[in-house]
């Protein structure tokens, strides 16, 4: 069960990073109408990408430790 929870958190973290990176990229490119979150504040995008990356690392390290 703990391995499954690590993988679920890994997938969720990857989705968060992809979502906020897409929002930032589309917002900076001028495609605000198509941006997933309507181009949220740039600082919010940066913080969520960094926190998502940290969560990816923590999930991966925990998963590798349980093998």
Q: Dump pLDDT digits (tens) for 4-55.
A: 999 999 999 999 999 999 888 888 887 877 777 777 788 888 999 999 999 9
Token code pair at residue 12? 């969720």
What pTM value is reported for the model?
0.85
- Contact between 36 and 23 under an 8 Å Cβ cutoff? The reply is yes
């Amino acid at each position: 069960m703990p391995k499954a929870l690590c993988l679920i958190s890994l997938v969720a973290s990857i989705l968060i990073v992809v979502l906020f990176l897409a929002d930032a990229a589309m917002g900076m490119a001028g495609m605000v109408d198509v941006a997933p979150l309507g181009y949220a504040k740039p600082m919010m995008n940066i913080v969520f990408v960094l926190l998502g990356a940290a969560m990816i690392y923590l999930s991966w390290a925990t998963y590798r430790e349980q093998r």
